């Protein structure tokens, strides 16, 4: 659809009614028009001065006001929301430009160059927001934040661990194997963490927001999942975790993979049954992603984030971000956990849960 997001110097998105806001729903989506830029909700038309590239970040002026552009989503944000509500899963497009992807992949390659594990499994490249402004920008993307906040029913959300840059190594010893286990639902839908009778609540308590830096393909171990398993409202059965996963056969006959383009994100309800399938990276290449567990900000985090916050304060990343991105990093990654609202489910600390 070749849409565009417009933002001011602070990083807030211009909506069709002329207001600037920190997130981007339908009213923040613009498209090239014979007369300039056309807002797809309000019908507003602006005649900008400057290059209107739809695949990279550029600088323009509208009525003398400097604005920056970045690629918008392929569909309206409300369409992704509808899909997430209906299926428990959606693929949010165009969160990273090709330049940002290439820059981040080079940084990851440099950071793992000396690691002796060259095959079989994943490497974590910790605290991505402290060494990459591109990581910080994509985990604060205004469309992604609008989608997750709307789905979770609150603007007060946070990441339950620092954004985790991971590198899936090519399979070697795992080739042709069918490892047992691995099927799970995500935090806070873990046994002993969230009281079991609350797994079926209408209001969800978590989404996974996994950015596909590399394309997720069948041959590079795109995440396996059971479509519509969000409706089961339970931890995967023992049978599902026994005997290895053979897609299309037996208990796993309906299992498929989450394939998605580079620069997009897998966004799914944390109750979805899924599995990292290291053995299926037959591409011979690394596959890079950024993993995020997202909940309302009163849910206890999975880890103590205070050390990550201290490291970030001494890093250079913050100076490269807009004011809005800086605020979002603080609230999402480093702020203290809020008090639970009245009637909220009991969520136990993941380390102490029994």
Q: Tell me which residue of 317, 334, 325, 330 sits closest to 161, measured CA to CA.
A: 334
CA distance 187 to 180: 21
| Residue whose token pair is 């171990």 | 221
Contact 61, 67 (CB under 8 A): yes
The mean per-residue pLDDT over the stretch 294-299 comes to: 98
- Is the pLDDT score of 353 beyond 50? no
Three-class SS state of 210: strand
pLDDT tens-digit profile of 145-175?
999 999 999 999 999 999 999 999 999 999 9
Give domain 77-334's CATH number out of 2.160.20.10, 3.40.640.10, 2.60.120.620, 1.20.1250.40.
2.60.120.620
Residues 97-146 pLDDT 10s: 999 999 999 999 999 999 989 999 999 998 899 999 999 999 999 999 99
**Which range (23-37, 42-56, 80-94, 253-267) has the least confidence?**
42-56
pLDDT (tens digit per residue) in 310-322: 999 999 999 999 9
CB-facing half-sphere around the CA of 287: CA atoms within 13 A: 32
Is residue 228 scored above 70 in pLDDT? yes
Which candidate, 300, 289, 267, places its Cα nearest to that of 159?
A: 300
In this prediction the pTM is 0.96
Q: Give the β-pairing of 58-62 and 45-46.
A: unpaired
Give the gyration radius of the chain's Cα atoms. 21
**Which among 95, 79, 89, 90 has a CA at the least distance from the CA of 25?**
79
* Alpha-carbon dihedral sign for residues 169, 172, 173, 179: positive
pLDDT value at 231 more than 80: yes
Taking CA 263 as the corner, what is the angle to CA 327 and CA 254, rounded to the nearest 5 degrees?
A: 115
What is the C-alpha to C-alpha distance for residues 325 and 318, in angstroms, rounded to an integer?
A: 9
Cα 353 to Cα 51: distance, rounded to the nearest angstrom: 54
Distance CA 70, CA 35 (A): 19
Distance, CA of 213 to CA of 265 (rounded, Å)? 8
Domain boundaries, the chain: 3-71, 77-334
Torsion angle, alpha carbons of 90, 144, 204, 329, to 10: 150
Q: What is the pLDDT at residue 349?
A: 79
Q: Alpha-carbon distance 308 to 298, whole Å?
A: 19
Do 304 and 185 contact (CB within 8 A), yes or no? no
pLDDT tens digits, residue range 185-225? 999 999 999 998 899 998 999 999 999 999 999 999 999 99
Please, how many CA atoms are within 13 Å of residue 332, restricted to the half-sphere of its CB?
Answer: 26
pLDDT per residue over 20-79, tens digit each?
Answer: 999 999 999 999 888 789 999 999 998 887 777 667 788 888 888 899 999 999 999 999
- CA 299, 135, 260, 142 dihedral sign is positive
pLDDT the model gives residue 351: 64
- pLDDT given at position 1: 78
Measured distance CA(54)–CA(226) in Å, rounded: 35
- DSSP H or E stretch at residue 62: strand 58-62
Residue 89 predicted with pLDDT over 80: yes
């Amino acid at each position: 659809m070749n849409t565009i997001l417009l933002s001011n110097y602070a990083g807030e998105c211009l909506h069709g009614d002329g207001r600037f806001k920190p997130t981007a729903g339908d009213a923040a989506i613009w498209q090239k028009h014979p007369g300039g830029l056309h807002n797809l909700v309000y019908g507003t038309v602006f005649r900008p001065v400057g290059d209107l590239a739809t695949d990279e970040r550029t600088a323009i002026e509208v009525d003398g006001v400097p604005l920056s552009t970045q690629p918008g989503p392929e569909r309206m944000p409300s369409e992704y929301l509808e899909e997430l509500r209906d299926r428990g899963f959606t693929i949010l497009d165009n969160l990273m430009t090709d330049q940002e992807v290439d820059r981040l992949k080079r940084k990851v390659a440099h950071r793992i160059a000396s690691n002796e594990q060259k095959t079989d499994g994943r490497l974590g490249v910790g605290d991505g927001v402290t060494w990459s402004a591109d990581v910080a920008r994509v985990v604060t993307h205004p469309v992604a934040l609008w989608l997750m906040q709307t789905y979770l029913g609150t603007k007060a959300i946070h990441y339950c661990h620092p954004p985790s840059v991971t590198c899936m190594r090519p399979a070697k010893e795992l080739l042709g194997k069918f490892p047992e286990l691995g099927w799970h639902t995500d935090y806070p839908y873990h046994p002993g963490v969230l009281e079991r009778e609350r797994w079926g609540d209408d209001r969800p308590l978590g989404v996974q927001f996994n950015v596909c830096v590399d394309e997720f393909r069948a041959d590079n171990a795109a995440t396996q999942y059971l479509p519509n398993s969000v409706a089961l409202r339970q931890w995967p059965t023992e049978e599902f975790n026994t005997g290895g996963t053979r897609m299309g056969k037996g208990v796993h006959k309906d299992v498929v993979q989450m394939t998605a383009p580079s620069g997009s994100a897998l966004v799914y309800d944390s109750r979805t049954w899924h599995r990292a399938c290291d053995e299926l990276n037959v591409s011979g290449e690394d596959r890079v992603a950024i993993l995020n567990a997202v909940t309302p900000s009163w849910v206890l985090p999975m880890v103590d984030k205070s050390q990550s916050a201290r490291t970030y304060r001494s890093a250079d990343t913050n100076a490269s971000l807009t004011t809005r991105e800086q605020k979002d990093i603080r609230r999402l990654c480093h702020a203290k956990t809020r008090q639970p609202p009245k009637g909220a489910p009991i969520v136990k600390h993941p380390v102490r849960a029994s």
